[in-house]
Amino acid sequence: MTEHRITIKSVSGYKVLDHFFDYELDGWMGSDVCHSIILNDKKILWLFGDTLIGRTEKKKRGSDWNLINNSVGIMELKDGEPNKMNFFWQCEGKVSLSFFNHPDKMIGDYIWPTNGIVLNKKLYIFAMAVNATLDNSIDLIGTVCLRIDNYLDNPMNWKTEYWDFQFSGGVIHAALYGESGFLYFLGFHGKETSNHMILGRMNTNELSEKTNASRIEFFQNNKTWDNNLRRAKPMFKPCNTESNIYFKKDLETFFTTTYTSQNNELSLTWAKKITGPWSAPLPIYTTPVQNKNFPVNSYAMRIHPWISDKRGKLIISYATNEYGGMDHLFTEEGIDIYRPYFIEVELS
């Protein structure tokens, strides 16, 4: 089959969104990951993983800080444009705590919320369940699903239900897309980043019944859908843990991102159908962080549909972090690391 051709006309920074993630003088001062979910025409929810809470000095983060495992932001829109951002996390006295707690008897020691979607007037958030390790290495143990019915209320008043989604040995919710009564999952099985991404789907009514990954059908090599994960058709590689699927209406094309974090390079892949064939990933942008005197990696590159629709371009965020540690995050050189940045990509 002839590959669908897409031309990258330009790639540039999109600073309109950047300043909404500038550090607070006393509060939110950077995070891991960055995912947006449309709540309604006036509110955008932002999900963050590990988050630094503390005081910001003139040219660096201060020495009085706390690391929590997740936080959220609510961006208010005015006439469809970003207008205000508020960050939220829990507190116990003067101690900062993760916004989404870790229920007793739930898998893992804590959770990283990395993707989500509003379906049938309910907010679903998919989170990585993570085990704490002595050497601070990443030990993903599975997936936890969260459901919030009163998601339009103040986040501090949310009533959140949690359940084990029962998918382990990989990340099935790297990207989500809802269409025609189905929730599509783009993810992978295994622990090697060289693995392929695979595509699954679930009836949205089943998700509302708090079901688990056993109900996911995977797209197969023979172009049918089946529960057999091992026979799922490879979509593209490398795989990644945090992305998104975006349908650009004027080009009638699906787009998603992929990356190898240590390369600090973002790649784009596309398809006319969500089932593929997906193009070979095309490197389109190298993040400007490789000139530090310490190693930096870039990851969690994802397209944000609500602002991409409005701009007519792909608006893509990426996260950065010190590779192998975090000491340099508290120096003047590291103040611009560990926070979201945005780019815009013009296509034809």
* pLDDT tens by residue, 163-185: 999 998 899 999 999 999 999 99
Planar angle of CA 297, 302, 303, nearest 5 degrees: 145
Note down the domain range covering 73: 8-347
Residue 249, in any domain of the structure: yes
| Residue 38, domain member (yes or no) | yes
Q: Is the pLDDT of residue 327 over 60?
A: yes
Q: What's the mean per-residue pLDDT of the chain?
A: 94
Does residue 238 sit within a domain?
yes
Residues 6+ away with beta carbon under 8 Å from 211: 202
Question: Residue 3's pLDDT is what?
Answer: 58
Task: Kindly tell me if the per-residue pLDDT of 208 is higher than 80.
Answer: yes
The Cα–Cα gap between 13 and 26 comes to 27
Cα 138 to the center of its chain, rounded Å: 17
Rg of the chain in Å (alpha carbons): 19
Query: Looking at the domain assignment, is residue 3 inside a domain?
Result: no
Mean pLDDT over residues 40-58, rounded? 96
Query: Which token pair is 15?
Result: 């600073």
pLDDT tens, position by position, 53-92: 999 998 999 999 999 999 999 999 999 899 999 999 999 9
Task: Report the pLDDT value the prediction gives residue 193, as an integer from 0 to 100.
Answer: 72
Q: Which residues contact 2 (CB under 8 A, 6 or more apart)?
A: none
Residue 186, beta-bridge partner list:
175, 199
CATH number of the CATH domain containing 143: 2.115.10.20
pLDDT at 1: 41
**pLDDT score at 290:** 66
Of the chain, the percentage scoring pLDDT greater than 90 comes to 86
pTM: 0.95
State the DSSP string of 324-344.
T-SGGGGSSTTTTSSS-EEEE
Report yes or no on 214 lying in a domain.
yes
Q: What whole-number distance in Å separates Cα of residue 174 and Cα of residue 171?
A: 6
The more confidently predicted of residues 276 and 191 is 276
Query: Does residue 155 have a pLDDT over 70?
Result: yes
Average pLDDT over residues 86-108: 94
* Count of the separate structural domains present in the chain: 1
Q: Does residue 1 lie within any of the structural domains?
A: no
